[in-house]
Amino acid sequence: MGREVSESCVDSLLTEMVSSYCDRFYANKPDLAARRIEAIGFQVGLQLSERYTMERPRFSDHLEAIKFICKDFWSELFKKQIDNLKTNHRGTFVLQDNRFRWLARMSVDPSPENGDLSQDNPPAENKAAQATSMHLYFPCGIIRGALSNLGIPCAVTADISNLPACSFVVRIKA
């Protein structure tokens, strides 16, 4: 009980996992790499939700389970709660984290020819956004795994507006 995990190790492991899958195992198939990373997250979420729901009464509805993810589950993982939760009351939830820990150390690669050509900038930015979004498949998988284990099948996508803020969109399958 009460075993500790080094935070920087987890950060490094995550970065290394993403780069291994994207650059080595499935270098030319980003979709497949994304699916694999998401699947790892799914299993992690499955197991974590089993552990973190141990001492609590069962959830009576979807909102309660989502609230659990926002509060207790997020606190266990990132030592903070989700900053904002929105819902349309029809099965879509948006969980916003203003300072997502796994993106906090992320920076956009300053390309050397940043200054001379303005039309070079959009592709570079695009590439950086793609690399960042690769890192979000793992947490998406964690959320999907946790909710699935609680009996809520859903699809989770992530959305980066401005680093390190990040929002996860949960769509519950009817």
Partner 1 sequence: MIVCVAVVGHQNNPLYIQSFTEADDALKLHHIVHCSLDVVDERVNNPKKSGPTLNETFLGLLYPTENYKVYGYLTNTKVKFILVTTDLDVRDADVRNFFRRFHAAYVDAVSNPFHVPGKKITSRTFAERVSTIVKSFGSSSAG
In the complex, the smallest distance separating the C-beta of residue 95 from partner 1, rounded to whole angstroms, is: 19
Residue (128 or 172) nearer to partner 1, CB: 172
Residue (59 or 78) nearer to partner 1, CB: 59
Amino acid identity at 12: S
Cβ atoms of residues 146 and 49 within 8 Å: yes
> How far is 106 from 156, CA to CA, in rounded Å?
22
Residue (56 or 79) nearer to partner 1, CB: 56
Strands 154-159 and 166-172: antiparallel
Residue 69 DSSP symbol? I
In the complex, the smallest distance separating the C-beta of residue 145 from partner 1, rounded to whole angstroms, is: 9
Residue (57 or 110) nearer to partner 1, CB: 57
In the complex, the smallest distance separating the C-beta of residue 132 from partner 1, rounded to whole angstroms, is: 27
Of residues 36, 87, 45, the one with CA closest to residue 64? 87
DSSP secondary structure letters along 90-131: SSEEEEEETT-HHHHT------GGGTT-GGGHHHHHHHHHHH
Cβ atoms of residues 81 and 96 within 8 Å: no
Residue (31 or 55) nearer to partner 1, CB: 55
In the complex, the smallest distance separating the C-beta of residue 130 from partner 1, rounded to whole angstroms, is: 29
In the complex, which residues of this chain contact partner 1 (CB under 8 A)? 43, 46-47, 49-51, 53-60, 149-151
In the complex, the smallest distance separating the C-beta of residue 118 from partner 1, rounded to whole angstroms, is: 48
Cβ atoms of residues 163 and 132 within 8 Å: yes
